[in-house]
Amino acid sequence: MNWSMPIILASTSPRRREMLEATGWPVQVVEPEVDDGELEAREVLPRAWVTALAWFKARSVMLKGVGPGTILGADTVCELDGKIIGKPTHRADAGEMIRSFRNRSHQVMTGVCLVASDGSERFIFSDTATVTLGDLKDEAIESYLDTNAWQGKAGGYNLLDRFADGWPLEWDGDDHTITGLPMRRLREILDEVGMTKEDRP
């Protein structure tokens, strides 16, 4: 199989870049020509939606003619009561999302697409984690919304930042999946798809 470094990240998410760079793998960033905020999932299942978006992003970068390397596209959504919850579009939207999670559990799914830069190989997978938010007070929600830290985040929050800030959060699964990239699975997948050992640190 024709997989090689560097990883060409089809995302401008600083969190995803930081997670990849923390492994020591060489990373390049190329902005995808896909605006998921303009797309509607409608009746598509959450797992199918995030993997489709990951593929769209990776493909858009592949069509730019980048390379050599392995393109990585990713997308993250939350699911509550069978409904896909993506990124909030405004402050009130973020507040509604967070209040809907209160005293309940919801799922967070991240889809990933790996594509060889020449298009010869493709591998798509997803990972899911469960997050439980306790009785977060309205005052804490309003204070958080005032910071605008909810912008650009699926479900309107970043798990580890909110946990460090004292939010009553518990989770089951890879916390990296919740923050945008399932690193446990990704390490396993890179071995499974035959990423050349000499290209890895």
pLDDT digits (tens, 9 = 90+) for 119-175: 999 999 999 999 999 999 999 999 999 999 999 899 999 999 999 999 999 999 999
pLDDT confidence band for 36 (50 / 70 / 90): low
Domain range annotation of the chain: 7-199
Question: Reduced to 3 states, what is the DSSP secondary structure of residue 50?
Answer: helix
Average pLDDT value for residue range 178-184 = 95
**Phi, psi torsion values for 165, nearest 5 degrees:** -85, 0
Read off the amino acid at residue 197: K
Which one from 75, 81, 93, 165 is the annotated catalytic residue?
A: 75
Residue 193 confidence (pLDDT):
64
Identify the weakest region by mean pLDDT among 109-123, 127-141, 186-200.
Answer: 186-200
What does the mean pLDDT of the chain come to? 90
Comparing CA positions, the residue from 27, 36, 34, 17 lying closest to residue 152 is 36
- Residue 94 CA to residue 107 CA, distance in Å, equals 17
Query: Is 35 assigned a catalytic role?
Result: no
**Domain at 7-199: CATH code:** 3.90.950.10
6: pLDDT strictly greater than 80: yes
CA distance linking residue 2 with residue 148, whole number of Å: 42
Pairing of strands 7-9, 27-29: parallel
pLDDT bin (cut points 50, 70, 90) of residue 94 is very high
> CA-CA distance, 71 to 181, in Å (whole number)?
14
Cα gap 98→89, rounded to integer Å: 13
Res. 181: pLDDT tops 90: yes
- Global pTM reads 0.89
- Of 37-41, 48-52, 163-167, give the lowest mean pLDDT range: 37-41
